[in-house]
Chains A and B, each alone.
Chain A
């Protein structure tokens, strides 16, 4: 793929520099500890707005963007249909479960409707994968964008299943184990758990045989085919995995909003997920979460800087700036800064 995902291998010189540094560095993964502690303690000192509208919302968007990062960063398949898959899960949770539109909703127990919604969304993602893997590279963007937009128009004009323009409202998170999961702190911990699981899953998958195969497919499909790997099979499996993650994010999003309508999966949100992933950086699973936090903060506080209506211009310009000047997103900037510090003013070798 192009520059955004390429250039993984650090030049040999930098590897040497890293070895040189290692004596001083903390053990690998040390950053997880303070970060984890902070995230767990966050709702204890933050207000409801910060806990839910910033914290939980960022993590939900992060999970959906993480599924895109998995596909694009590891697999080289930039799918714009991840929000569509997330929305599908939300829609089918409302259709199988309870909502304001009881003439459509089936009213099944959440123990049934929740797994079914995940299943339908994952199947949809698999189908998207089957279609998108018919072609490769830049075509993937086109096909997945076409699917996403077509699905948006479909939900908007179909009243029999998707209740058209209005969609579904009054969708409550299931009262599993007798708790009210809408309660801000509980909801925050639910999202945190899901986000942490997804993050760990992507980190693990990235090192697993499957993940390595997918990364190798990104780098050289032809060689992998010659080695006897089933290219399409692995790609479709990647789509299914990412689809499941996006579906989890979609369910959380529906729990948060309590409603779903075509607007949730419109072109704007679909592109927002791409913006978030690229803004954060596609090289590491933490990127989407960083991007999501930046996005949500901008979304909420850009009002103070400019008129509310011009948010799209601001976010579009931010996105352009990242694409043009820092292809690895905010993570890339961080990386650059860290390297500059580590060099300690020594000139670039």
Chain B
């Protein structure tokens, strides 16, 4: 694991399980993503899916037995909504980290900035969709600027980069407080997506916007997966996550790849800001909440793995909402316990590579 400590060590030198220290002269194990990793990954996905199916099945059984308490189903759905938001935010975070070793602690600020800017645009033009688009584009541009102006200058110094992102997040949070004040903002999405649908089978109403949000996150997740696994740029990104130096040596313009990833990651955070701000609300302090969510999701899911981010986001979203409803004063403990459990069992994260 310890190769992460070295700035100079090649990023990809994490094949050997016992290998630590990151001594550049030390022999490196060959990276073996092979079948075992795949099997573990598949098993984890299966476990999580099984858990989701179990919860839903439990709810269905509850309902079938005549239970009038619809709260459980609503909670699970809320958990999935929150999980999809967390996924949108954390997928960018994990990609940026996986590729550039940059723990972007200003990621929460990008979320909040995207939300505020999107709100202002939507408020001025009356078009919610324009707000969403601007939220994405503005933050993608901000991410590009950050990458080119700041992080490119201190490549390979991951602690320093992280400290810079902390400084940025403080300044950004304060400037946003200055510009938009302390009050809470609420988006007004178009009426046709902001209604109530009666869920079949369960027989209860649920916000259609939240269902759409969940579907949108699934679509974006699949699109991201296709982008990473089926396009040339995606192949480069995955190669860069595994071994940045080799990628550069094979003639790829790594800086360009970094820019693409940072823009996509930051843009997704801004996008999540607008759609998440619509589902919930925007207020100062949300940046920290989503930063915490991203951190935990990525620790749980595994660095650099978009699938891991999806798994982690669903787990954390469900744990948070179930905890909030069934043991309100100890809700955070569940999230924390999941993180502890993962760190003890698989320090590299559920889908992270050792």
Contact = CB atoms under 8 A, between A and B. Distances in A.
Interface of A: 1-5, 76, 78, 131, 134-139, 141-143, 145-147, 149-150, 153-154, 157-160, 164, 220-223, 225, 267, 271, 274-275, 278, 309-310, 312-313, 315-317, 319-320, 323-324, 327
Interface stretch (B46-54, B124-132, B246-254, B288-296): B288-296
B23 A3 contact: no
B163 A4 contact: yes
Interface string B1-40: 1101111000000000001111100100000000000000
B174 A310 contact: yes
6 tightest A-B contacts by CB? A222-B21, A2-B159, A137-B5, A316-B170, A316-B171, A312-B174
Contacts of A76: 5
A153 B334 CA distance: 12
Contact of A319 (B170, B298, B335, B340): B170
B189 to A, nearest CB: 28
Nearest to A72: B159
Contacts of A141: 103, 105, 159, 162
A168 to B, nearest CB: 16
B23 to A, nearest CB: 6
Contacts of A136: 1-2, 4-5, 20
B299 interface: yes
A146 B167 contact: no
Most buried by A among B21, B167, B177, B328: B167
A275 B163 CA distance: 9
Contacts, number: 154
A211 B348 CA distance: 28
B2 A221 contact: yes
A310 B159 CA distance: 26
B343 interface: yes
A323 B1 contact: no
A1 B5 contact: yes
A120 B2 CA distance: 30
Contacts of A312: 170-171, 173-174
Contact of A150 (B103, B170, B173, B332): B332
A313 B21 contact: no
A2 B160 CA distance: 7
B347 interface: yes
B342 to A, nearest CB: 10
B91 to A, nearest CB: 16
B4 A313 contact: no
Contacts of A146: 292, 295-296, 299, 339
Contacts of B163: 4, 274, 278, 319, 323
A225 B158 contact: no
A224 to B, nearest CB: 8
Q: Is the interface of B mostly helix, strand, loop or mixed?
A: helix
Interface of B: 1-2, 4-7, 19-23, 26, 101, 103, 105, 157-160, 162-164, 166-168, 170-171, 173-175, 177-178, 288, 291-292, 295-296, 298-299, 328-333, 335-336, 339-340, 343-344, 347-348
Contact of B158 (A138, A154, A316, A323): A138
Given A137-B5, A222-B26, A150 B159 contact: no
B329 A158 contact: yes
Nearest to B19: A222
Contact of B292 (A3, A149, A274, A319): A149
Given A138-B103, A313-B174, 5 more contacts: A134-B343, A136-B1, A221-B21, A320-B167, A320-B171
Contacts of A320: 164, 167-168, 171
A331 to B, nearest CB: 16
B105 A145 contact: yes
Contacts of A142: 103, 295, 298-299
Contacts of B168: 316, 320
A222 B23 contact: yes
A4 B159 contact: yes
A139 B4 contact: yes
Given A138-B4, A141-B162, A150-B336, A267 B26 contact: no
Nearest to B328: A157
Contacts of A138: 4-5, 101, 103, 158-159, 162
B332 A222 contact: no
Contacts of A324: 164
Contact of B178 (A271, A310, A323): A310
